[in-house]
Amino acid sequence: MYRFPTPSAAGLGQGPHWRKFSSTTLHVTGIALVAVSVGLLACTLLEVLTTGRDTAALALSTLLAGTAGAVLWYLTRPGTVGKRQIFATVAWTWVLTTGVGAVPYVLAGTFATGGAGFVEQVVNSVFESASGFSCTGSTVMADFDNAGRGLMMYRQLTQWYGGMGVVVLAVSVLPFLGVGGLDLISAEAPGPNSDRLTPRVSETARRLWIVYAGFTALAAVALFAADGFSSVYDAVAHAFTVASTGGFSVYPDSIGHYGSVAVETVVIVFMILGGASFTLHWRAVATRRLPHCHNSEFRAYLLLLGLCSAAVAALLWATGGLSPGSSLRAGVFNAVSLGTSTGFGNASGPGSAGDYVAWVAGAQLVLLLLMVVGGCTGSTAGGIKVMRMQVLAVVMVRSLRQAQAPRAVIPVRFGRDLITEGVVSQVAGFFLLHFLLVIGGLLVVTALGGELETSLGAVVSALGNMGPALGEAGPTANYADAFSQPARLSLALLMIIGRLEILPILLAVVPHVYRARALTRVLRR
């Protein structure tokens, strides 16, 4: 906020004094929007050099996002970083970034096909933006040829920003936040906790982004080298979304567009790595060892993916009428894709081997289980997380043992570490909130016209940031055909809630609910 120049104590030689507005939320949002504008600028240049049809929309979006971000960044400063401010900062940064992220689609008329009105275009743009930044991968885009290459690359880039997190990116340039910065990372990062890699929180955030960028570059090189990828554009576009376990593709058939076993194999490897903790990846690079082998969650994660892949492949071969090779290829790819919350598909069209909507019910049930669980804590994956499932399983075993020996004191162990009762309570609370949100979301979406099976799959997919769901929202379908406009907005909100692991959004809303109740009491008097 600008304050008019006032005489200093000396009265001479002093310029105007700027008083910055104290707001951690607006300050972090400003940095996030500036970062997004840099990506938009790169995509604008790509559009100029290629198709050129969406140049004006991307250029104007770059100007709007960059100006808004710079103004917020320059005119504000971080305030007190208490618990309430932490959750409000993370929640509102994501909501505002998602809103600004929808602007390029609106200006370019991406969803203007089929006689869609302006309101429907805005709804679809917000849905696509929320799906991108939350790394969900659900889409309402029907005509992939209508958008230019720059706009399609921006769509891929939204998932790359959302993978590691726009707040983590902001903290990397805020060295003075101290402990509050680690709390901001913890509130945004998937999982029960966040590890501090270095004494300085900003350095921790930078190292996470460095390993993330390196992982993306490695994925791009591996994809370009795979038999089936014919352009750098394709390789980079899919590297952004495989590193972030997002699942957006520049083709309607996703990875099935290439029809290549080599491409699918490379994608499977990087989806598995993307679903693992990036803290482990950094330590592997720093120490030149593999800490993954000694990590209980990572071992359970690989075991879960392996068993579910084998189960799906066996079911497809035994009851699905597919050959052993096709069963293995379709089963492993889709189990890993949904188990890591990536959401890529290898179906070449409706009814093909990779179209799991046409599979037997047993195979679909295994996929639904994977959609609920998700990847590891500290990864770019969504879902409840393997660690929480492990803790829940250990608590269940402890309950059975205590039923046999009521006076026994049985600790909860996670690998070699002891889990405190506080963490156990947090995990139990998270499961309850997740279950209630699934039920509430299902009621809302079905009330807005959704079919039961399709709505259940879509709600679970949105909260777990999975992408494709079941029924009419499968890997070869489109969410615009399956859900009404209000239902799509509800699912977009669930995507952001799921990406932030529920608590930041809910706790950011709670103070406003209390204020509203207090105001209601005053008015009644």
Above 50 in pLDDT, residue 17? no
Higher-pLDDT residue of 302, 407: 302
Residue indicated by tokens 């909501």? 95
pLDDT band at 509 (very low <50, low <70, confident <90, very high): low
Longest Cα–Cα distance of the chain, Å, equals 89
Q: Which of 243, 452, 136 is nearest to 126 (CA)?
A: 136
DSSP symbol at 294: G
DSSP-based helix, strand, coil % in the chain, nearest 5: 65, 0, 30
| CA dist., res. 270 & res. 326, Å (int) | 21
pLDDT of residue 171: 58
pLDDT band at 174 (very low <50, low <70, confident <90, very high): low
| CA dist., res. 497 & res. 130, Å (int) | 10
**Would you give the distance in Å from CA 413 to the centre of its chain?**
29
Q: Convert the pLDDT of each residue in 88-111 to its tens digit.
A: 788 888 899 999 999 999 999 999
pLDDT of residue 255: 94
pLDDT band at 173 (very low <50, low <70, confident <90, very high): low
Going by their DSSP bridges, the two strands 417-419 and 412-414 should be labelled as antiparallel
pLDDT of residue 138: 93
pLDDT band at 207 (very low <50, low <70, confident <90, very high): confident
Low-confidence winner among 266-280, 294-308, 417-431 (lowest mean pLDDT): 417-431
Burial class (CB in 10 A: 0-12, 13-18, 19+), 422: exposed
Arithmetic mean of pLDDT, 349-363: 88
Q: Which of 366, 253, 248 is nearest to 304 (CA)?
A: 366
Rg of the chain (C-alpha set): 24
Low-confidence winner among 64-68, 305-309, 367-371, 467-471 (lowest mean pLDDT): 467-471
Higher-pLDDT residue of 302, 198: 302
pLDDT of residue 334: 95
Average pLDDT along the chain: 84
Above 90 in pLDDT, residue 54? yes
Arithmetic mean of pLDDT, 10-24: 58
CB 202 within 8 Å of CB 173: yes
| CA dist., res. 216 & res. 205, Å (int) | 17
Arithmetic mean of pLDDT, 257-279: 93
Q: Which of 139, 134, 136, 181 is nearest to 31 (CA)?
A: 181
pLDDT of residue 224: 93
Arithmetic mean of pLDDT, 308-324: 91
**Which domains does the chain show, CATH number per domain?**
420-524 (1.10.287)
| CA dist., res. 245 & res. 500, Å (int) | 15
Above 60 in pLDDT, residue 124? yes
pLDDT of residue 508: 66
Q: Convert the pLDDT of each residue in 365-388 to its tens digit.
A: 999 999 999 999 888 888 889 988
Instruction: Spell out the residues 6+ positions from residue 522 whose beta carbon is closer than 8 angstroms to its own.
Output: none
pLDDT of residue 353: 87
Above 80 in pLDDT, residue 242? yes
Above 60 in pLDDT, residue 178? no
CB 267 within 8 Å of CB 257: no
Arithmetic mean of pLDDT, 67-86: 81
| CA dist., res. 372 & res. 390, Å (int) | 14
What is the DSSP code string of 207-246? Answer: HHHHHHHHHHHHHHHHHHHSTT---HHHHHHHHHHHHTT-
Return the top range by mean pLDDT from 160-169, 392-401, 441-450: 441-450
Q: Convert the pLDDT of each residue in 480-495 to its tens digit.
A: 888 999 999 999 999 9
Six token digits for residue 74: 């320059």
Six token digits for residue 82: 């208490």
Q: Convert the pLDDT of each residue in 416-462 to its tens digit.
A: 777 777 778 888 888 888 999 999 999 999 999 999 989 999 999 99
Above 50 in pLDDT, residue 19? yes
pLDDT band at 82 (very low <50, low <70, confident <90, very high): low
